Amino acid sequence: MSLSAGNLRGKSILCARDPRRAAASRAMRDSGFFGGVAPATVAELRRIAQRRLYAPGETMFHLGDEPADIFAVESGRLKLWRMSDAGVPMVVAYGIAGDVIGLVGAMQRRPYIAHGTALTTCVATCWSVRQIRALMEGDAVLAINIAEALAERVGSHVARMEEMASLSVEERVARTLVRLAVQIGTRDAGGAVKLDIGQRDVADLARTTVPTFSRLAGRWARAGVLTGTRGRIVIHDQKALAALARTGS
């Protein structure tokens, strides 16, 4: 995927002093799986990195696309989503600074299983799948790091499946909110954590229904744990929410 405006969804960021190398260094440090690779590999990763800017609502990739790039998120937030069987948009996951997006599909040579859309202004450092694969062939540490990152993704997926099988819906919803507080929450002056997210998105992530989430949110609002408005949830008592994540009651 080149940087020409005609075939690049995200715009390249250009200035008199090309920032790609510094940006690539930050992205490599934050993502974690470039640690310990050979200096020559590091230099090449910096050289070939492309930095892209996505506006809120802009699509980074589409479900069904063949993975062409790996995205290391520098700043901003994005959501991974797809249409449910009922034809309703369903959030699969969120991406934040430090996350690497598209890795699983790229390594498996499988099409993307979700759309990727920027929620806020999003800056990502990108490498082509072809280039990363070529570097992996010559650097065992890079290959091992990426294999470990893939194993971590699989472990996370298994953990979600175990939650579905073993936890009550109250515990699942509370755990989902605790995770979202870390991923996308912003703290106000009074210590409350704001989540710019709708009820349907939380319900999708917790694998439950909107009415069930509304019932739980109403109960927890009366207890002073959280409040909700259209498109926003405010967590007032994180300790109480964490306790709900453990017990559900």
Q: Which fold has domain 11-163?
A: Jelly Rolls (2.60.120)
The architecture (CATH level 2) of 168-247 comes to Orthogonal Bundle (1.10)
Helix (H) or strand (E) holding 93: strand 89-95
In the chain, residues under CATH classification 1.10.10.10 are: 168-247
Q: Are 108 and 70 in contact (CB under 8 A)?
A: no
If you average pLDDT over every residue of the chain, what do you get?
A: 83
pTM: predicted TM-score of the whole model, two decimal places: 0.70
CA–CA separation, 74 and 28 (whole Å):
10
Instruction: Give the type of residue at 49.
Output: A
State the burial class of residue 50 (Cβ atoms within 10 Å of its Cβ: 0-12, 13-18, 19+).
Answer: buried
In the chain, residues under CATH classification 2.60.120.10 are: 11-163
Helix (H) or strand (E) holding 229: strand 226-229
Per-residue pLDDT of the chain (249 residues; tens, 9 = 90+): 333 233 334 555 433 344 555 655 566 665 666 778 888 998 898 899 999 999 999 999 999 999 999 999 988 989 999 998 888 888 888 888 888 888 888 888 889 989 999 988 999 999 999 999 999 999 999 999 888 888 887 777 777 777 777 889 999 999 999 999 988 888 988 889 999 888 888 998 888 999 999 999 999 999 999 998 888 999 999 999 999 988 655
CA–CA separation, 146 and 168 (whole Å):
34
